[in-house]
């Protein structure tokens, strides 16, 4: 049977098991939206801004491990997607972003709502396709899903000319994908694995440094086995939180700029760093010349270009973390590192995450502690800024895909739409959105679809009336010149939530924090927004200043 | 670390946008391109690029890995570490008044260069060779006055049987 390109697209998405597409309609994508109209299997989630659509698809992908799909029209629709595509790219999130494009005969003519989407997105996606004819659709979609979800995952852009959406051709979905130039290496080299195991068995001060690649590879179980079987302490990055339970005695918590002193001191003293699915990001390593200076380094990563990019590696292992760790686990045994473990425990005891109560103010860390106490099983979607760091520090994540945030690009406004995607992907879970006042207002319009769909999102705003992280840097490094960070003109977010049609609660006193969180638990017929008015000038500590070594951590202001 | 010149031989899918992806990779990551040559291979679905670049060992390793990471790249070879031959064509338009033409033609003969166009006071010369030879020719012709010079950029191939 002959189908239009738009219908072939939807049939292809069905073949890929797509349940939801997050999109915003527009001229050059109308045939696709028409094909989705009242579709029984592939549901369109109508977002209010294309950036929100892309983050929602991203949140869906992070929470479920499946490919997220976002859809927008040409020109401004497509350019609005770019932030979301770049966000997914930096964090290796599988996504297919479909954009309408003007008619092929108009392309290159500066037509209405025309934009060179392939050109604009080239540096921020894993791959991209331009569809100029209906008979290319099935193969392109099959390849796009294959590329997005295999190897090091990432977003794939499919730019789809309007005439190709209309043009009818025969639908036949490829059974097998074979791209001769794309064969990700998943098995680790046995000799490299043996070398790594030898280093592990001979180390005196070893540590595991696991990143976002572990949850992406669904390798948390294997990671846990490695740590527990060997007895080696472990730090998990912001992107990997939950891959290893923070509550376990071997856990040293998050490393890096706002990480635990224990993890950072461990790097500085360690003689063997076992990196798994982590990329030695500058926010983790600090000054590279002072990073783990005495340690040999093993690096397991699916992306060869990540290995040796920032830090020289002694034993590189290119492969899928799940498979490599499984092979390693067959060979490792318990290591005798008692003096090292005593040191680790001492650091942990001496330098836990801590804060001081300031008068009657609600301390942001207190709010996070209370959220953790009441919602410890929830999926937590964090935004970007101080609240993100406090959430990472004070919420003890125990499961992979429990903590979703934009770690690489650091996209403010990510979390509310991402929470929508996560809730749709995991309808049986409670989804908590921990947001900042600055980031919340960047994508606040996405409350509308959340309300329309009656999603029981718990939206908790840590409101300090500032772009707090920037203010903190200004306080520490710019002589308190608070340029362009004062958000005291914020609207009343509780009233605003009510105006949208959600439940809004404003909390200004410490004693109201817990009751409000408890009340939110009982609201299940739609989103609830709690605006926590917190201490305005609380800082995130510990802190390794940008460019300093991990050993030079500031534990707090005297 | 010292910088070294490397020649990458890159087989790519002969597809829309591939050159932009390669160029974007170099510009986006701040790698250098000294010369770049692209053309179809014997197989019309496959194009061959010869990319001459320079950088320290770590940069060269990154270039190699990032080229490999591009979906449309089929194969990358760092020819610098292989036994290979390289060639480049240069077209030189040189002042050649009738009384000096003989000298120029003599130089050309030594380097097996060809004349491909003659006008009353200039010649267009084609020379093929490796970097050293081309430099020698250009240096010898410079005193006569070079009006214009165009190079193809290097192409290179590995010696012996294909691996």
**CB-CB under 8 Å, B16 with A305:** no
From A306, A327, A350, give the residue that closes a domain.
A350
> What does residue A360 show for φ and ψ, rounded to 5 degrees?
-95, 5
Task: Place A219 in a pLDDT band, splitting at 50, 70 and 90.
Answer: very high
Q: Is the peptide bond before A542 cis (omega within 30 degrees of 0)?
A: yes
Mark whether A106 and A159 lie in a shared domain: yes
Q: pLDDT tens digit string along A309-330?
A: 999 999 999 999 999 999 999 9
For residue B11, the domain's CATH number is: 3.30.70.260
Mark whether B93 and B114 lie in a shared domain: yes
CA A107 to chain centre: 35
Residue B1 has pLDDT above 80, yes or no: no
Residue A218 has pLDDT above 90, yes or no: yes
Mark whether A345 and A206 lie in a shared domain: yes
Mark whether B70 and B103 lie in a shared domain: no
**For A120, which residue in chain B has the nearest alpha carbon?**
B24
Helix (H) or strand (E) holding A3: strand A2-4
- Mean pLDDT in chain B? 94
Whether A176 is covered by a domain: the verdict is no
**pLDDT more than 70, % of chain A:** 100
Whether A529 is covered by a domain: the verdict is yes
Mark whether A240 and A334 lie in a shared domain: yes
For residue B101, the tally of other CB atoms under 10 A from its CB is: 17
Q: What is the model's pLDDT at position B2?
A: 87
Given A113, A192, A343, A445, which residue is catalytic? A113
Q: What is the model's pLDDT at position A557?
A: 74
Mark whether B116 and B47 lie in a shared domain: no
**Contact A278/A240 with Cβ under 8 angstroms?**
yes
Q: Strand runs (DSSP E) across A259-417, as ranges? A: 272-276, 296-301, 315-318, 379-382, 403-404
Q: pLDDT tens digit string along B15-27?
A: 989 999 999 999 9
Mark whether B75 and B121 lie in a shared domain: no
Q: Which residues of chain B have a CB within 8 Å of the CB of A182?
A: 71
A388 noted as active-site residue: no
Residue B149 domain boundaries:
85-158
**Contact A68/A61 with Cβ under 8 angstroms?**
yes
Whether A391 is covered by a domain: the verdict is yes
> What does residue A237 show for φ and ψ, rounded to 5 degrees?
-75, 170
**Contact A316/A308 with Cβ under 8 angstroms?**
yes
Mark whether B77 and B122 lie in a shared domain: no
Q: What is the pTM of this model?
A: 0.96
Mark whether A134 and A211 lie in a shared domain: no
**For B75, which residue in chain A has the nearest alpha carbon?**
A181
From B26, B60, B82, give the residue that closes a domain.
B82
User: If you count DSSP H runs as helices and E runs as strands, how many of each does chain A have, helices first?
Assistant: 22, 19
Q: How far apart are CA B102 and CA B97, in angstroms?
A: 10
Beta bridge partners of A313: none
Mark whether B62 and B12 lie in a shared domain: yes
Whether B163 is covered by a domain: the verdict is no
**CB-CB under 8 Å, B20 with A308:** no
Q: What is the model's pLDDT at position B163?
A: 54
Q: pLDDT tens digit string along B77-133?
A: 999 989 999 999 999 999 999 999 999 999 999 999 999 999 999 999 999 999 999
From A324, A350, A376, give the residue that closes a domain.
A350
Q: What is the model's pLDDT at position A558?
A: 59
Whether B91 is covered by a domain: the verdict is yes
Given A162, A296, A297, A322, which residue is catalytic? A162
How many CB pairs below 8 Å do chains A and B form together? 36
Residue showing tokens 């993890």:
A263
**CB-CB under 8 Å, A304 with B24:** no
Mark whether A318 and A404 lie in a shared domain: no
For residue A40, the tally of other CB atoms under 10 A from its CB is: 6
Mark whether B33 and B67 lie in a shared domain: yes
Q: pLDDT tens digit string along A49-99?
A: 999 999 999 999 999 999 999 999 999 999 999 999 999 999 999 999 999
- Return the CA Rg of chain A: 24
Mark whether A342 and A372 lie in a shared domain: no
Mark whether A340 and A368 lie in a shared domain: no
Q: What is the model's pLDDT at position A1?
A: 79
**pLDDT more than 90, % of chain A:** 99
Mark whether A198 and A229 lie in a shared domain: yes
Mark whether B109 and B125 lie in a shared domain: yes
Q: What is the model's pLDDT at position B85?
A: 94
Given CB atoms, is A288 within the 8 Å cutoff of chain B? no
**Contact A508/A461 with Cβ under 8 angstroms?**
no
Q: What is the model's pLDDT at position A493?
A: 98
Whether B19 is covered by a domain: the verdict is yes
Task: Place B160 in a pLDDT band, splitting at 50, 70 and 90.
Answer: confident
Mark whether B78 and B90 lie in a shared domain: no
Q: How far apart are CA A32 and CA A335, in angstroms?
A: 58
- Mean pLDDT in chain A? 97
Given A112, A187, A480, A518, which residue is catalytic? A112
**Contact A66/A94 with Cβ under 8 angstroms?**
yes
How many domains does chain B contain in total?
2
Residue A110 has pLDDT above 80, yes or no: yes
Task: Place B145 in a pLDDT band, splitting at 50, 70 and 90.
Answer: very high
From B55, B82, B109, give the residue that closes a domain.
B82
- Give, to the nearest 10 degrees, the angle between helix A468-477 and helix A386-394: 100
Mark whether B73 and B100 lie in a shared domain: no
Mark whether A26 and A68 lie in a shared domain: yes
Given A207, A469, A472, A538, which residue is catalytic? A469
Whether A175 is covered by a domain: the verdict is no
Residue A360 has pLDDT above 60, yes or no: yes
- Give, to the nearest 10 degrees, the angle between helix A50-64 and helix A415-425: 50
Q: How far apart are CA A380 and CA A59, in angstroms?
A: 11
Q: pLDDT tens digit string along A296-309?
A: 999 999 999 999 99
A395 noted as active-site residue: no
Mark whether A306 and A412 lie in a shared domain: no
The token pair at A405 is 């945030």
Cα angle for residues A262, A263, A267 (degrees, 5° grid): 115
Mark whether B90 and B78 lie in a shared domain: no
Mark whether A322 and A391 lie in a shared domain: no
Whether A425 is covered by a domain: the verdict is yes
How many domains does chain A contain in total?
3
Q: What is the model's pLDDT at position A14?
A: 98
Q: Suggest the residue from A154, A180, A305 to mutate for an interface test with chain B (most B CBs closer than 10 A).
A: A305
Pairing between β-strand A458-463 and β-strand A315-318 as defined by DSSP bridges: unpaired
Task: Place A350 in a pLDDT band, splitting at 50, 70 and 90.
Answer: very high
Q: How far apart are CA A465 and CA A480, in angstroms?
A: 16
Q: How far apart are CA A142 and CA A160, in angstroms?
A: 15
Whether A553 is covered by a domain: the verdict is no
**CB-CB under 8 Å, B58 with A130:** no
A183 noted as active-site residue: no
Whether A223 is covered by a domain: the verdict is yes
Residue A212 has pLDDT above 90, yes or no: yes
A472 noted as active-site residue: no
Helix (H) or strand (E) holding B90: strand B84-95
Whether A482 is covered by a domain: the verdict is yes
The token pair at B101 is 């033409």
Residue A251 domain boundaries:
190-350
Residue A207 has pLDDT above 90, yes or no: yes
Q: How far apart are CA A427 and CA A487, in angstroms?
A: 34
A353 noted as active-site residue: no
**Contact B111/B101 with Cβ under 8 angstroms?**
no
> Which positions 119-178 of A are in contact with B (Cβ < 8 Å)?
119, 122-123, 126-128, 130, 147
Mark whether A458 and A389 lie in a shared domain: yes
Mark whether B97 and B51 lie in a shared domain: no
Q: What is the model's pLDDT at position A415?
A: 98
For residue A449, the domain's CATH number is: 3.40.50.970
From A292, A320, A350, give the residue that closes a domain.
A350
Contact residues for A488 (Cβ-Cβ < 8 A; gap 6+): A465
Given CB atoms, is A309 within the 8 Å cutoff of chain B? yes
For residue B118, the domain's CATH number is: 3.30.70.1150
**CB-CB under 8 Å, B12 with A130:** no
From B82, B112, B146, give the residue that closes a domain.
B82
Q: Suggest the residue from B45, B69, B70, B76 to mutate for an interface test with chain A (most A CBs closer than 10 A).
A: B69
Arithmetic mean of pLDDT, A524-551: 96
């Amino acid at each position: 049977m002959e189908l239009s390109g738009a219908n072939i697209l939807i049939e292809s998405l069905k073949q890929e098991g797509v349940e939801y597409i997050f999109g915003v309609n527009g001229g050059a994508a109308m045939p696709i939206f028409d094909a989705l109209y009242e579709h029984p299997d592939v549901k369109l989630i109508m977002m209010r801004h294309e950036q929100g659509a892309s983050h929602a698809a991203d949140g869906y992908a992070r929470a479920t491990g499946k490919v997220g799909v976002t859809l927008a029209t040409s020109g401004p629709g497509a350019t609005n997607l770019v932030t979301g595509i770049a966000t997914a790219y930096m964090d290796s999130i599988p996504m297919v972003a479909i954009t309408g494009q003007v008619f092929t005969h108009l392309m290159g003519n500066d037509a209405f709502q025309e934009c060179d989407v392939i050109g604009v997105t080239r540096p921020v996606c894993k791959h991209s396709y331009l569809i100029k004819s209906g008979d290319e659709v099935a193969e392109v979609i099959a390849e796009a899903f294959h590329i997005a979800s295999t190897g090091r995952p990432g977003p794939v852009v499919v730019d789809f000319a309007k005439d190709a959406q209309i043009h009818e051709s025969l639908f036949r979905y490829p059974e097998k994908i074979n791209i001769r130039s794309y064969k990700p290496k998943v098995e680790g080299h046995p000799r490299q694995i043996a070398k790594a195991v030898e280093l592990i068995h001979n180390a005196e001060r070893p540590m595991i440094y696991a990143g976002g690649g572990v949850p992406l590879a669904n390798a948390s179980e294997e990671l846990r086995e490695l740590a527990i079987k060997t007895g080696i302490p472990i730090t998990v990055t912001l992107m990997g939180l939950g891959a290893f339970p923070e509550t376990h005695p071997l856990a040293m918590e998050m490393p890096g700029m706002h990480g635990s002193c224990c993890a950072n001191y461990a790097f500085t003293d360690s003689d063997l760093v076992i990196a798994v699915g982590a990329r030695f990001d500058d926010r983790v390593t600090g000054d590279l010349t002072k990073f783990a200076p005495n340690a040999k380094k093993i690096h397991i990563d699916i992306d060869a270009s990540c290995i040796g990019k920032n830090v020289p590696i002694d034993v590189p292992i290119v492969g899928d973390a799940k498979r490599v760790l499984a092979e390693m686990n067959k060979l490792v045994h318990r290591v005798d590192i008692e003096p090292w473990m005593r040191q680790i425990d001492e650091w942990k005891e001496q330098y836990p995450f801590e804060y001081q109560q300031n008068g009657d103010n609600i301390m942001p860390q207190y709010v996070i502690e209370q959220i953790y106490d009441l919602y410890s099983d929830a999926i937590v979607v964090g935004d970007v800024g101080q609240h993100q760091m406090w959430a990472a520090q004070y919420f003890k994540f125990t499961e992979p895909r429990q903590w979703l945030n934009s770690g690489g690009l650091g996209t403010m406004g990510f979390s509310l739409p991402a929470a929508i995607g996560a809730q749709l992907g995991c309808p049986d879970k409670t989804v908590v959105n921990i947001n900042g006042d600055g980031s919340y207002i960047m994508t606040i319009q996405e409350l509308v679809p959340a309300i329309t769909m009656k999603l029981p999102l718990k939206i908790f705003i840590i409101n300090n009336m500032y772009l707090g992280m920037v203010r903190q840097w200004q306080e520490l490094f710019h002589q308190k010149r608070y340029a362009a960070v004062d958000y005291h003109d914020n609207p009343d977010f509780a009233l605003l939530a009510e105006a949208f049609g959600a439940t809004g609660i404003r909390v200004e006193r410490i004693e109201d924090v817990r009751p409000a969180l408890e009340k939110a638990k009982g609201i299940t017929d739609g989103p609830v927004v709690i605006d926590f008015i917190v201490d305005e000038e609380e800082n995130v500590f510990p802190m390794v200043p940008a460019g300093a070594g991990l050993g030079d951590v500031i534990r707090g202001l005297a | 670390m010292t910088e070294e010149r490397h020649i990458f031989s890159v087989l790519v899918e002969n597809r829309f946008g591939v050159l932009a992806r390669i160029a974007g990779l170099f510009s986006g990551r701040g790698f250098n391109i000294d010369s770049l040559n692209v053309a179809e291979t014997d197989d019309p679905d496959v194009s061959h690029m010869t990319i001459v670049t320079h950088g320290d060992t770590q940069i060269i390793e990154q270039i190699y890995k990032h080229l490999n990471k591009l979906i449309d790249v089929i194969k990358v070879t760092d020819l610098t570490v292989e036994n290979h031959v390289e060639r480049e064509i240069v077209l030189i338009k040189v002042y050649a008044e009738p009384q000096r033409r003989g000298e120029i033609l003599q130089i050309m003969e030594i380097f097996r260069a060809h004349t491909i166009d003659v006008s009353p006071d200039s010649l267009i010369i084609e020379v093929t060779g490796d970097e050293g030879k081309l430099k020698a020719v250009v240096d010898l012709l410079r005193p006569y006055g070079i009006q214009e010079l165009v190079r193809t950029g290097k192409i290179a191939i590995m010696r012996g049987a294909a691996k």
